Amino acid sequence: MAAMMACRVIPARKTSIADRFARNMILLPGRDILIAQLGDAFALFNSQEQRLYEVDSLAAWTWRHVSNCAAGIGWSQLSAQFSSECKLARPDAEALLDRYVGLGILHACQGSASIFAVALNGSRWMIECPDVLSAELKRLFRGIAIPMEPGCRQEHLVIRLNADRYELTAAGKSIGVVGRAEIIPAIKAFLTEALLQTDFTLALHAALLRLGDRQLLIAGVPGAGKTTLALALSAENGCLLLGDDIVIVDEKGALRGIPFPAAVKRGSWTLLQTFQPEVASRPTYVRSDGKEVRFIPGDIDSDHIAPARSTTMIFLRQNVARRQSLSRMSPLLAFQRLLTEAAAPTRRLTDQAFAALSKAVNISRVYEMEVGPLRQAVEIIRDL
């Protein structure tokens, strides 16, 4: 950790109270800000800057009051409470609130914004987005959505709409500007990268489903049809899609899918219509690689699924002739295939990750499959 400077008064930044009153604002705790009382003084720690500052009791009261409101508090409501609690004239209270926003002690967002939280392998993200985008995001990312909790430490992703473009900002830094057709893929890509920055043993590029009391992992190179087959299977009674793209292997070799929305490429829309009719009516988005996709939300939060008794692994092989085949695969080859597109926090296979993946493969039945007619493939896998 970088050495912290001696405690000093936080410097002010220019702000305009007139601009803030022109909009209906919601106030949230400042990003990367914590305040603690130390004796008779109050210390503000900015984790992004790794700096310690001294603030007065009014600033500390305001930050604490806003922090106790999970979804933020309206500007007018807070200014009235601030004026009453601190015995200040209303204009003085409003001027101080505006100053606290300028200092970064509070964060102001538009009243037309929606705020919700998601969990990413132990880390928490608060997402602030325009109302026009809120319903779609909450629906697609419902598998990782969590309740807003007051005073809980979390990262902050802000999505702002400017004309017909969306700007994404995280940790106070712009991470890109995209059009309406690219926004959902951009958010999924950002959250995927944020997930891969958390603490985990090993992450596999695969789909994970629950069939009764067993798990099914579907792997293969990009374009082999993992998502198509996984979504077709998830339409069966008693089958749940736990993760379409990322599967976490824990230190004991157990598998946990990350329930991000599944991205269905254009070539699979017709194939999936009988299994997932909603594909036909979902909005079309464009990924950064130029491919058109439609998103289907995951079935359930995999954190609430009990450990499975057994696992079946199926490795898809690209099949131009559309022939149907299924054959056993050696555990060693399965291990090598999984490692080809696996990710680790240090980008190195640790001893712990090696042992965990070895255990996961050894307790599984492993197959290689060429997918012909989709219905036939579903029936073969269901009867394994």
In the block, which residue shows the tokens 């210390």? 43
C-alpha closest to that of 6 among 46, 52, 42, 38: 52
pTM of the model: 0.80
pLDDT of residue 3: 40
pLDDT of residue 306: 64
pLDDT of residue 194: 94
pLDDT of residue 18: 43
pLDDT tens per residue across all 384 residues of the chain: 334 444 555 555 544 544 444 446 788 888 788 999 999 999 999 887 888 999 999 999 999 888 887 677 888 888 888 888 888 888 888 888 888 988 889 888 766 678 889 999 989 998 989 888 999 999 999 999 988 776 677 788 999 888 889 999 997 789 999 999 999 999 999 999 999 999 999 999 999 999 888 899 999 988 889 999 999 999 988 889 999 999 999 999 999 999 999 999 999 999 999 999 999 999 999 999 999 999 998 766 555 566 666 789 999 987 766 788 999 999 999 999 999 989 998 888 999 999 999 999 999 999 999 998 899 999 999 888
pLDDT of residue 5: 44
C-alpha closest to that of 148 among 128, 130, 171: 128
CA gap 267, 280 in Å, rounded: 12
pLDDT of residue 159: 93
Contact between 309 and 214 (Cβ < 8 Å): yes
Contact between 248 and 200 (Cβ < 8 Å): yes
All structural domains of the chain with their residue ranges: 8-110, 113-195, 202-382
Q: Are strands 106-110 and 73-74 parallel, antiparallel or unpaired?
A: unpaired
Tell me the CB-side half-sphere exposure of residue 4, using CA atoms within 13 A. 15
pLDDT of residue 163: 82
CATH of 8-110 given 3.90.930, 3.30.70, 2.40.50, 3.30.750: 3.90.930
